[in-house]
């Protein structure tokens, strides 16, 4: 699977949820990277920690989009 990651906050803080998802998918043999908006992904994970951060409203090129975090 081709997995994309989006840190909605983008405050340069390590996003532990995305790091754990990345490690798990890599153990499964999946290709994991930051979402680029250019290529198509099988699954994209969006994580938002802070509620004051604006929502990411771009169109995601993926079969499945999973949104999560305490800021959602």
- The secondary structure of residue 44, as a DSSP letter, is E
Q: What is the largest CA-CA distance in the chain?
A: 35
Residue 64: beta bridge partners?
43
Q: Per-residue confidence of the chain (72 residues) as pLDDT tens digits?
A: 999 999 888 777 788 889 999 999 999 999 999 999 899 999 999 988 887 777 888 889 999 999 988 776
C-alpha radius of gyration, the chain, whole number? 12
Model pLDDT, residue 12:
73
Residue 67: beta bridge partners?
46
CA distance 72 to 70: 6
Model pLDDT, residue 35:
93
pTM: 0.87
Cβ atoms of 20 and 44 closer than 8 Å: no
Model pLDDT, residue 18:
92
Model pLDDT, residue 72:
66
């Amino acid at each position: 699977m081709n997995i994309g990651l989006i840190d909605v906050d983008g405050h340069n803080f390590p996003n532990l949820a995305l790091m754990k998802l990345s490690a798990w998918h890599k153990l499964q043999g999946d290709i994991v990277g930051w979402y680029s908006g250019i290529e198509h992904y099988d699954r994209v994970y969006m994580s938002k920690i802070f509620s004051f951060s604006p929502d990411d409203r771009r169109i995601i090129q993926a079969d499945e989009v999973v949104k999560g975090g305490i800021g959602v």
